[in-house]
A = this chain, B = another copy of it.
Amino acid sequence: MEPVIHQVWWRVTQRLRRTSLLPRRSHSGCAEHISVPASTRSRHIRPTPLVSRIYQPSHLRDVGQDSRVQGEMTCKSQRLMQQAGLIHSSNPGCYYYLPATVRSMEKLVRVIDQEMQGIGGQKLDMPSLCSADLWKVSERWELMGKELFRLKDRHGIDYCLGPTHEEAVTTLVAHQTTLSYRQLPLLLYQITRKFRDEPKPKFGLLRGREFYMKDMYSFDVSEEEAYKTYESVCQAYTRLFTRLGLRCVQVQADTGNIGGKLSHEFQLPADIGEDQLLVCGNCSFSANVETMSSDRTDCPQCKTGTLVESKGIEVGHTFYLGKKYSRAFKAVFTNAQNNPSIAEMGCYGLGVTRILAAAIEVMSTEEGIRWPGLLAPYQVCVLPPKKGSKMDKAAALAEDLVHTLEKALPQLRGEVVLDDRTQMTIGKRLKDASILGYPYVIVVGQGALEETPRFEVTCQEIGEKMFLSKDGLIDLLRKVETV
């Protein structure tokens, strides 16, 4: 930029600052590379979320195009999530994620990040638009058939919307001319929107056409090292599900169109699960029926146990790929002998939106959502008394309580909502709170006005009700883990 223009810009900015167009600021404005003083951080502490203002519309009509959606099979998690204003159907297999769902998803992403980075995973982000050329190299352009969403750009060039990114990531790694064995294992992952043109989308977020997936890809120097990496990812998955309080089973699985030599699924037992599993009552063996001859009832591992059929929701999948993709795309590293060598690969998926819905599916009651504690959109809901009731004076105490909790328990900042819909009875609001599944619901009523104020707390997970002092509440909530 020429100096004179630069000066003009500067003057203009200063003038704008003096007019109403740009707000006046106490700190130093647009000066070069300034950083805002730490004290202004307090500005970003959000005001208490009020239930009356949270956008969780519970009376959405299905109109127009949505008639198509109505033909889809539904299930408990989908019904509850729609009822509670967490999701809304758009096109078949495509959903709006409403604000509470986004909060929960962001928490799940943080837990996944922690576990993936804990084993050395590095997060990147690859384009959704994948060129047909790449997919032809792996032969999946044909193989995937109608499941691929395909399109042409304005120049007539073919693309697909990536349902998974083996081709893309292997190409990336192949482009590095200087990859050394010292840099391996290399674990690259992303948490992005994926696309799959399902013949029959159903069960809400459980089988959609557009969904979030965590996909990780590993590159190793040898088969032996690759198996170690594979095992380390499986362990991270198990840790993740344990932290979420989900009882997940790792089963032997088919490698499908991904290809490769070894594969496991992480299955969450559920009646509506679409996978048929065979589990041995006697030993550790468990497998997807796809991997077995269908009439087999004896366990191939212990030979004595009987295989029992069960249903599961697949929430994770791991594949040991070997050199299938690395050979095709020439993903080569320099080995310890200074020779070029083809990397051994693995790939590992987690259905992010699916984990959320599956958790709701297995944890909820028929009447209300129950969340993995870490993933609840908000941890605590405080209910002031009904307006005009004889406990009306306690209303101010409810607001005080929110501030006290957030001050005493920093991990609960932004996690405490106030149900300010005081035109409604406590009973009606308690029912809503039960549907939404806040882990802790605190009623500020008559007891709060006593000399030693006491509050009624419901732990929704276990359905237990207690009366606690303010200090007792703080002690109870101190153990709430957030992410």
Contact = CB atoms under 8 A, between A and B. Distances in A.
A341 to B, nearest CB: 17
A177 B35 CA distance: 45
B175 A90 contact: no
Interface of A: 1, 4-6, 8-13, 15-16, 18-19, 21-23, 25, 27, 29-38, 41, 43-44, 46, 52-55, 57, 59-65, 88, 90-91, 94-99, 101-103, 105, 114, 117-118, 120, 122-129, 131, 133-134, 146, 149-151, 153-154, 159, 161, 168, 171-172, 175-179, 182-183, 186, 188, 192-193, 195, 197, 199, 209-210, 234-235, 238-239, 241-243, 245-250, 269-271, 279-281, 283-284, 286, 308, 310-311, 363, 370, 372-374, 461, 479-481
A10 to B, nearest CB: 7
B96 A16 contact: no
A118 B283 contact: no
19 contacts: A1-B271, A15-B284, A22-B238, A30-B241, A30-B242, A30-B247, A32-B247, A35-B481, A36-B242, A36-B481, A37-B481, A53-B183, A55-B122, A60-B177, A90-B126, A96-B127, A101-B124, A102-B124, A193-B193
A298 to B, nearest CB: 16
A281 B16 CA distance: 12
A46 B98 contact: no
Contact of A32 (B6, B123, B239, B245): B245
Contacts of A195: 128-129
A338 to B, nearest CB: 15
B245 A35 contact: yes
Contact of A99 (B22, B123, B372): B123
A120 B47 CA distance: 9
Nearest to A6: B269
Given A126-B90, A193-B193, A247 B9 contact: yes
Contacts of A481: 35-38, 41
When all copies of this chain in the complex are counted, the total is 2
A239 B29 CA distance: 9
Given A21-B284, A91-B127, A154-B197, 11 more contacts: A5-B269, A9-B269, A25-B242, A33-B373, A33-B461, A55-B124, A91-B159, A94-B127, A96-B125, A96-B126, A105-B125
Given A125-B96, A125-B97, A373 B35 contact: yes
B11 A281 contact: yes
Given A59-B178, A188-B55, A131 B65 contact: yes
Contacts of A118: 43-44, 46
Given A5-B310, A98-B124, A247 B22 contact: no
B65 A12 contact: no
Contacts of A15: 283-284
Nearest to A90: B127
Contacts of A95: 127
